[in-house]
Amino acid sequence: MDIQLEKREAIDMLKETNDPEIIMAVAKLLRTNKKDWWDDLTDQQKEDIAQSELEFERGEFTSFEEVMKKYK
């Protein structure tokens, strides 16, 4: 299956229709079918992000400018 060909054909069919039910159904499907990248993360990655957020809130970080000074 050529996914690019399928996409072009679907777009062409959508362009040609004036049926509001079809248009709304496709729009609804596309809106609800979006995956959140967070759901693809492992539990460890989610924990690491949470830990990083806590460290940032406590001021435990190095600014970009400080890092760049070190390497100039």
* Rounded-to-integer distance, Cα 7 and Cα 65, Å: 45
Q: For residues 22 and 28, what is the distance between their CA atoms, to the nearest angstrom?
A: 10
In our burial notation (b when 16+ CB lie closer than 10 A, e otherwise), range 12-32 reads eeeeeeeeeeeeeeeeeeeee
pLDDT in tens, the chain (72 residues): 799 999 999 999 999 999 999 999 999 988 887 788 898 999 999 999 999 999 999 999 999 999 999 888
Identify the pLDDT of residue 35.
80
Tokens of residue 31, six digits: 């809106």
Which pLDDT does position 34 carry in this prediction? 78
**Could you tell me how many residues make up the chain?**
72
The model's pTM: 0.47
Q: With contact defined as beta carbons under 8 Å apart, do 61 and 55 qualify?
A: yes
